[in-house]
Amino acid sequence: MTLSFRLSSDQWYTDAQWARLLALLGAHRPAVDELSLFTREQMGWFGTMEAMAPEADLLARRIREGHAAGFRSVGINVLSTLGHGDPVGEWSPEFTLPRATGADGVQATHCPCPNSEAFREHIKAKYQLYARANPDFIWVDDDMRGSHHGVLYPCFCPICLAKFGRSADRAALVARMNDPAEAELRRAWVEFNASTLESVCKDIGDAVRAVAPDIKIGLMTIGSSHSTHGGHALTRWTRALGAVKGRPGHGFYWDDTPRGIYNKALDVGRQTRDYAPTVTDVQYELENYPYIVLDKANRTVLNEVYLAIMMGCNGVAFNALKDTAGALDDFEPLVAAIAAERPAWEALIAHVAGLPAAGFWPADDNALMGKRAVDASGWFWEGGVYNIQQPNPLVEMGLPLSPVQHLSCGTLLAGKIAEAFSDMELRAILGRGVLLDSYALEVLWARGLGELTGVRPGKALLGGAVETFTAHTLNGRFANDSRDALVAPSDNVRALELLPGAEELARLTGYDGRDHGTCLSVFTNALGGRVAVSTYAPWRRIGRLCKRTQLTELADWLAYGQMPLRIDAFCRVAPFVRMRSDTSRYAAVLLNSTLDACAAFTLNVRTTADKASLATPGGLVPLEVLPGRLGRRIVVPALAPWQPAVILGG
């Protein structure tokens, strides 16, 4: 396990601050193995080599001093490659490179065109300058992405248009991209963006290796929920860079919305899934920007690391210390907490090695923007019905989620994500277990695959209705119970017309008592696939006893009885599972994601393992394992608010 601290330039720029930093980290040595020193570029800074040379010399000295202080690895984090954005204010040097251009013709003020020769020469020279400082590693920051570089969707400058080769007229090309009939053009543009970034990565990797072949190179990435305009080709980019380090990240800076931890975890899992096999040092981005200590609890930080390990990370890059000079006393409790928790993290990492993630796959596609359909609203937008994070709240209802499709026990198909898949891919999804919503149902009927769902979309209901459960077996004792999700037109609530063989689990009841038809169905299709269609807010406001119980039974049915675990207690505990295919070895992180204490509960695990332990910072605590409804059952001790239980079975 590698615990790394990413350190702003103000922490190493003066001898006095550097001494304060080393004193803090030296007092808690188990918390840190590696130092990653940020360059002084800020977020949109592209200075001259002459201006950066003294900085590189000082970095070389700090690297030597870090080694002398006992840190096993000290390297450089180059902050600006394509530019994180245009700076606001008058603090950035004059920008002289060719500028990135948006689809509307607006130019960035401080972000470069990625295909310009001047930029390529600049970026190679910059990385070589820092390589000569003799770092153990160099990180390429997460501005290596296909969007949000001063302009939202770059780059439509004359250089890029000429290289793309479809039109020299930006306005005409953009008009074609907004044309629903131009699907091939949009796919080609997204692939062009992916290839551009692949080429930039190769230039950087080659430049560093030309100076010092032994420097380890790492690529920092963000989740595809941010944007897929650049094709999000992480396998190709890490391979072209020659990366051996990866830092998957995304925005979860504060815990004012604490359940956002799950969106980040799943985005991280999708990134680790897509790294080239050469990337073996995978450090989770722990990002507390702008580093206000009381804006994120230490407990939240520790929980993030547990989920990151379950999503494929074997280290952490802590970007948690402040980015200004001065006293560091307020950060001491965090560093101490990291040091104290390390033994439990290490036990989990050792146990999960080689264990694949298990659970339902919330469907995603790294080239979604290029593959999706376009209507009158045009092409240049994302999110909404294309938000791959929509199904994530189901994990808080006890359904384990996995970023890996081929190892999943079923699929969650939300919104219009289905547009990204070929007919063959959709048939494969429909040939297994799948839960889908009304938008996905409409896509499947438009593609000629609707009959495999067992229902047709019927009349729309704008609002004013509840979901009422039927007497179906999967509803158990909750026949005639109901749920009010305060649905609105954007929920696209539809009545369902049942085809032969389909069964109903819930109906729409208006506030006035009128029955509006079926809103939740199950069906076994001709492919042998089990399909559930839910048109009544399937991804939100689901924390009712009747709904949570129904979802647990429904999910196990969709998974053909192969869901890796069940939590039948009524609680908001999110499970993350990794399990060997023969079920003989597994790990589960169960996170109580409420401000209430969670009483002890029974965990049913589909496993043959007769032994299990609770991993704690103080060591492994044996748990009693008994025969259970799925294979084995374990009583999980009571959990404090936002407290995890880390169970290692085998």
613: closest CA among 312, 350, 416? Answer: 350
Which segments of the chain belong to CATH 3.40.50?
358-561
Specify the DSSP class assigned to residue 266. Answer: H
Cα distance between residue 11 and residue 21, in whole Å: 7
Cα distance between residue 125 and residue 116, in whole Å: 14
With beta carbons less than 8 A apart as the criterion, state whether 17 and 11 touch: yes
Question: pLDDT tens digit string along 476-525?
Answer: 999 999 999 999 999 999 999 999 999 999 999 999 999 999 999 999 99
User: Model-level pTM?
Assistant: 0.97
Cα distance between residue 6 and residue 76, in whole Å: 9
Cα distance between residue 273 and residue 319, in whole Å: 23
Provide the pLDDT for residue 46.
87
Q: Tell me if the domain spanning 573-649 has CATH number 2.60.40.
A: yes
Name the amino acid, one letter, at 637. P
With beta carbons less than 8 A apart as the criterion, state whether 363 and 428 touch: no
Q: Where are the alpha helices (DSSP H) in 145-228?
A: 158-164, 170-177, 183-211
Provide the pLDDT for residue 587.
98
Cα distance between residue 398 and residue 132, in whole Å: 51
Provide the pLDDT for residue 391.
98
Specify the DSSP class assigned to residue 582. Answer: T
Provide the pLDDT for residue 93.
75
Provide the pLDDT for residue 281.
98
Residue-by-residue DSSP string for 498-515: EPTT-EEEEEEEETTS-E
Q: Name residues of the chain where pLDDT drops below 50.
A: none
Provide the pLDDT for residue 156.
98
Question: pLDDT tens digit string along 1-39?
Answer: 999 999 999 999 999 999 999 999 999 999 999 999 999
Fold of 358-561: Rossmann fold (3.40.50)
Cα distance between residue 481 and residue 321, in whole Å: 50
Question: pLDDT tens digit string along 320-343?
Answer: 999 999 999 999 999 999 999 999
Computed on alpha carbons and rounded to an integer, the radius of gyration of the chain in Å comes to 26
Cα distance between residue 32 and residue 393, in whole Å: 33
Provide the pLDDT for residue 41.
84
Displacement of CA 203 from its chain's centroid (Å): 27
Which segments of the chain belong to CATH 2.60.40?
573-649
Determine what percent of the chain is predicted with pLDDT higher than 90. Answer: 97
Q: State the chain's mean pLDDT as an integer.
A: 97
Residue 13's CB is within 10 A of a number of other CB atoms, namely 17
Provide the pLDDT for residue 353.
96
With beta carbons less than 8 A apart as the criterion, state whether 577 and 359 touch: yes
CA of 88: how far to CAs of 44, 109, 251, in Å? Answer: 10, 10, 20
Cα distance between residue 150 and residue 84, in whole Å: 7
